[in-house]
Amino acid sequence: MTDCLFCKIRDGEIPSEKVYENEHVLAFNDINPAAPEHILIIPKIHISTLNDLKKEHTQTMGELILAAKEIAKLKGFSELGYRTVFNCNEHGQQTVFHIHLHLLGERQMSWPPG
Ligand code: AMP
Ligand code: ZN
C-alpha cells in the first residue's frame, strides 16, 4: 500500500528504531512509548485491521505473537511479564491502519485497560 506509514517504515522510507526482523515481521520502538519498553510488531504484508484477516493470514499472525515472545526474552522482561495489544478501529483507538501488535514491558500494567 502506497500511503501507509508502517509500509513506509518497512520500506525504509521513514526511519525507525528497529528491534527485530525476520522474513515475516518487523519490530521497532513506538515513537510515543506508553511503557519503558514499547515495541510495535508489524507483518511485512499490509493488512489494515483485524477485521481484514483471512485464513491465509494465519501464519503471519502467529509470527507476530512468536516475535513478541522472542523480543520479550531478548530484552529480558519475559519472566516478569508484559502486555500485548491489538487495537481495532474507532472503539479500539486504532490510529495506524496497518496491523500491529503492541508489546509493552518493564512496568506493572493494570486491568481493565482504559
Ligand atoms: P494504534 O493506536 O494501535 O494504531 O497504535 C499506533 C502506534 O504507532 C502509536 O502507539 C504511535 O505512538 C505509534 N507511531 C506512530 N507513528 C510512529 C512512527 N513514525 N514510528 C513509531 N511509532 C509510531
Ligand atoms: Zn501498510
pLDDT digits (tens, 9 = 90+) for 56-103: 999 999 999 999 999 999 999 999 999 999 999 999 999 999 999 999
Backbone angles phi, psi at 76, to 5 degrees: 90, 15
Q: Please tell me the residue having the least CA distance from ligand 1 atom 12.
A: 32
CA 73 / ligand 1 centre spacing (Å): 23
Q: Please tell me the residue having the least CA distance from ligand 1 atom 20.
A: 31
d(Cα 75, Cα 49) in Å, to the nearest integer?
A: 27
If pLDDT is split at 50, 70 and 90, which confidence band does 108 have?
A: very high
Backbone dihedral region of 11: left (phi > 0), alpha (psi from -120 to 50 degrees) or beta?
alpha
Using an 8 Å Cβ cutoff, are 106 and 68 in contact? no
Using an 8 Å Cβ cutoff, are 84 and 69 in contact? no
SS (H, E, C) 60-72: HHHHHHHHHHHHH
**Tens-place pLDDT, residues 82-94:** 999 999 999 999 9
Ligand closest in space to the Cα of 93: 1
Atom of ligand 1 minimally distant from the CA of 14: 19
**Catalytic entry in 38, 46, 98, 100:** 100
Q: Give the CA angle between residues 60, 14, 42 to the nearest 5°.
A: 15
What is the predicted pLDDT for the residue at 8?
Answer: 98
If pLDDT is split at 50, 70 and 90, which confidence band does 1 have?
A: low
The correct answer on CATH 3.30.420.40 for the domain covering 5-105 is no
Atom of ligand 1 minimally distant from the CA of 94: 4
